[in-house]
Chains A and B, each alone.
Chain A
Amino acid sequence: MMVDLIYQLFPYAIAFTIPLLITSLGGLFSERSGVINIGLEGLMLMGMFVGAFVISSVEALYPTAAVWIGLLAAAVIVALFALLHAFACVTLNANQVISGIAINMIAGAVTVYLARFFTGSGNVQIIRGMPRITIAYLSDIPILGQLLFTHTYASTWLILLILALATFLLYKTRFGLRLRACGEQPHAADSAGVNVYLMRYMAVLISGACAGLGGATFIVTLSGEFNGTAAGLGFLALAALIFGQWKPWGILGATFFFGFATTVANVSQVIPVLAQIPGIYLKTFPYVVTLLALILSSKSSQAPKAIGEPYDKGKR
């Protein structure tokens, strides 16, 4: 019974985890370079809109490729949109939190405006989402095959691949070493000849691409329609970034925890064991745990040292 339940919940939990994961990963790049990205919510929303809009426009022409075109378009356009945040934070030395809030407000307004303009209703629907596939051979592995390789989305594997690439990029390559140095001690990076401004621009750009991808993934796997809100998913991704202590695998754990807990809360009404617990406890559970975790880990926070500080060459 319990096992069946887990088999049933797992695909949903993963589907919910993945958009969070990629968005959070975007936040990771930005913040490890020293730029706070409260704007994840807005960037994700933008990704949802661009994804939904592009797919709905091209799916008549390219029924199967449409979702992929949508994902790509979302990543590219939202990356460009994130340049706004980079420009404010890196070039203009603006307060990064305020710039992030501005991003959220602009994204909320612009997407709704455009959606109304194009569809009249403000909602953008897509007809075909990402198909679920079962991977040959791998799905025959006992237990894991059932959990991971049956009825999965190709986008899930794409994003897990990006996770692996991101980890490699951050910890093994020259780019990653420099990026992390910019987030910890930009003066050290600068005096070693690293262009702090350029690194931060790139990091914010990557963060936009990831968040856009996250938003569009949410559209093609879970919701199927843009309806003018990201429903706090971007903020959840931000929380996962902190909960995961600014580390890729920590983020994977944190987002999966959110994904699973939220799925449990969502389906609790139809599961006898869980139905006895008042919904409010289940729904707030992940957030309460996060709060507790954040409080407990605040002493040994792994937050990048220079996060939130505009880089100023002259400051001694």
Chain B
Amino acid sequence: MKYIVEMENIRKSFPGVVACDEINFQVRKGEIHALLGENGAGKSTLMNVLFGLYQQDRGEIYLRGEKVNITNPNIANDLGIGMVHQHFKLVHNFTVTENIILGIEPVKALMVDTRSASSRIREISERYGLNVDPEAKIEDVSVGMQQRVEILKMLYRDAEILIFDEPTAVLTPQEVTELMKIMRGLIEEGKSIILITHKLKEIMAIADRCTVIRWGKVVGTVNVSDTNEEKLAEMMVGRKVLFDINKKEANPRGEVLRIESLSVLGSAGTHGLKNFSLRVKGGEIVGLAGVDGNGQAELVEAIIGLRRTDSGKIYLHGTDVTRLTTRQRINSGMAHIPDDRHKHGLILDYTVLENLILKNYYLEPYSRRGLINWDYVYTHAEQVIKDFDVRSGQGAEASARSLSGGNQQKAIVGREIDGNPDLLLAVQPTRGLDVGAIEYIHRRLLEQRDQGKAVFLISLELDEILDLSDRIAVIYNGELVGVVNAAETNENEIGLMMAGGRRGAVA
């Protein structure tokens, strides 16, 4: 028995798309097998077929050499398949234990026996170093912990084949390292892992083999030791990918944004902002590095006017905007790419067209005499869609929900840049995107800089900050740790500053 999982000629289509097209995929027992592909390539769909959430139209699945028919997740569970979904499937007001036992609750005297379940969960948690408190409520624990609950869910069901769907997308760098350690532990215990990702670094770091999917088809399966990031990227995207962004010398000019001793109250559980000062000039990209939850959200919301400031001032082109409304700030030249495109970037059930005019629908020429001028809006939208390469089934009329993540983000970037802002606040602009889209958005940000605009980039991805920024500010605990020139620093130094160390701080 060579393979623990074999999927043969799997085809799965949705109305209008063939998500998986004759896919062949094999996993060996005890390996970490990466499934690589751009957004929308069909990775999640293929795994949902294996997990029984979707039925394949055609094709066969063999487990441990035997043909199986997985028609629902219960069967997958019984066959030893577990899956951590891209969007966690947890009930927020249940305890960790209740979430884990849901569906296979042990019962004693008619009642769900949470006591014995808890102790078993604690035991598994200790064995794999998961550090999960079975009595905690999901809504009270961090995202990293929620993910470990999902892992526990699989282990509690004695899963042998563990599927992780983009597990690192929601994690901080520290949590990623932690997760990799956990995965190695799982392999040592004899489990097999399928890791869906589009992050090449992670594959190189942890996977044994890698299958690349593009447009629903398998491009190939390779041993990770025989390949490198460039080759994988090329297989995934279908063309050579430039890793070094062609970055010209920055040409900073007058100050655009000035933040003076800004203090902001944090929402419960996070640090507010304390006495934060920073300047961003036209023609430069200033990156803000920091571990999630150290005041970035408060800072961004205060700048764009979504959160009340406590004290301190915000200036745009030397004018005090601290008391202006968000709309007034937008009209005086601010633009904002929010970090959560579903929550704050788009109205998912609106069309692309409608989403593109969210900020300016009431202005001439989008509106005339109080009525929206749909003809103009339409031509304008077509233009943005073309300029920013937003791909959708039905062009401007497609609902935002139907777009892939990368295209949703391109639509947002298009909307924000299209307004020709002086200051662009880009918050995690490439979160959860594939190489192609990341490359594209990075180029756009640099283009803004080269046109003399001020770009303030807030990101949890240190690589992104290092690649794009001209100057890097580091935030810790709501305070500015320091600002360094990107050319004179490295990952190590920034990493130390992110943990609060003041070394190398330049005022």
Contact = CB atoms under 8 A, between A and B. Distances in A.
Interface of A: 172-174, 177-178, 180-181, 184-185, 187-194, 305, 313-314, 316
Contacts of A174: 105, 107, 112
Interface string B80-99: 00010101011111100011
B110 interface: yes
Nearest to A195: B72
Interface string B222-256: 00000000000000000000000000000000000
Interface residues of B, number: 28
A259 B71 CA distance: 50
Interface string B58-81: 000000000000001110010000
Contacts of A180: 91, 94
B104 A185 contact: no
A316 B87 contact: yes
Nearest to A187: B89
A190 B102 contact: no
A187 B83 CA distance: 13
B103 A189 contact: yes
Given A185-B91, A193-B77, A177 B112 contact: yes
15 contacts: A173-B110, A173-B112, A184-B94, A185-B90, A185-B92, A187-B89, A188-B99, A189-B91, A190-B73, A191-B53, A191-B73, A191-B83, A193-B104, A194-B103, A316-B87
Contact of A188 (B72, B102, B111): B102
A39 B401 CA distance: 32
A172 B91 contact: no
A172 B83 contact: no
A135 B303 CA distance: 69
The winner among A178, A193, A305 for most chain B CB atoms within 10 A is: A193
A191 B92 contact: no
B157 to A, nearest CB: 9
B92 A192 contact: no
Given A173-B107, A174-B112, A184-B91, 11 more contacts: A188-B89, A188-B90, A189-B91, A189-B103, A191-B89, A192-B102, A192-B153, A193-B103, A194-B103, A305-B93, A314-B14
Contacts of B77: 193
B91 A188 contact: yes
A193 B89 CA distance: 12
Contacts of A178: 102-103
Interface in B102-150: 102-105, 107, 110-112
A203 to B, nearest CB: 16
A189 B102 contact: yes
Contacts of B105: 174, 177
Given A181-B94, A185-B89, A316-B87, A192 B112 contact: no
Given A172-B112, A174-B112, A177-B112, A194 B102 contact: yes
Given A181-B91, A181-B94, A184-B91, A193 B112 contact: no
Contacts of B102: 177-178, 181, 188-189, 192, 194
A291 to B, nearest CB: 26
A92 B74 CA distance: 25
B53 A313 contact: yes
Contacts of A305: 92-93
A287 B495 CA distance: 58
Contacts of A193: 72-74, 77, 103-104
A178 B91 CA distance: 11
A294 B94 CA distance: 24
A51 B72 CA distance: 43
Nearest to B100: A192
Given A189-B103, A192-B73, A184 B92 contact: yes
B326 to A, nearest CB: 22
B166 to A, nearest CB: 12
A316 B14 CA distance: 14
Contacts of B85: 191
A191 B14 CA distance: 20
A200 to B, nearest CB: 15
Contacts of A314: 14
A204 to B, nearest CB: 20
Contacts of B51: 191
Contacts of B104: 192-193
Contacts of B14: 314
Given A191-B73, A193-B74, A177 B98 contact: yes
Contacts of B74: 193
Contacts of A184: 91-94
A184 B137 CA distance: 14
The winner among B72, B101, B112 for most chain A CB atoms within 10 A is: B112
Nearest to A316: B87
A313 B14 CA distance: 13
A92 B98 CA distance: 30
A194 B74 CA distance: 9
Nearest to B98: A177
Contacts of A188: 89-91, 99, 102
The winner among B90, B103, B107 for most chain A CB atoms within 10 A is: B103
Contact of B111 (A172, A190, A191): A172
A188 B74 CA distance: 13
A185 B90 CA distance: 7
Nearest to A178: B102
A185 B103 CA distance: 13
Contacts of A172: 110-112
B188 to A, nearest CB: 27
A224 B78 CA distance: 56
A313 B54 CA distance: 9
B345 to A, nearest CB: 16
A148 B283 CA distance: 79
A314 B44 CA distance: 12
Interface in B455-497: none
Contacts of A316: 87
B456 to A, nearest CB: 31
A190 B74 CA distance: 9
B103 A192 contact: yes
Interface string B149-171: 00001000000000000000000
Contacts of A177: 94, 98, 101-102, 105, 112
Contacts of B93: 184, 305
Given A191-B83, A193-B103, A194-B103, A173 B111 contact: yes
B84 to A, nearest CB: 10
A246 to B, nearest CB: 11
A185 B89 CA distance: 7
B344 to A, nearest CB: 18
Contacts of B107: 173-174
A184 B92 CA distance: 8
Contacts of B94: 177, 180-181, 184
A316 B53 CA distance: 12
A193 B111 CA distance: 19
B153 to A, nearest CB: 8
B478 to A, nearest CB: 25
The winner among A185, A188, A190 for most chain B CB atoms within 10 A is: A188
A184 B112 CA distance: 19
Contacts of A185: 89-92
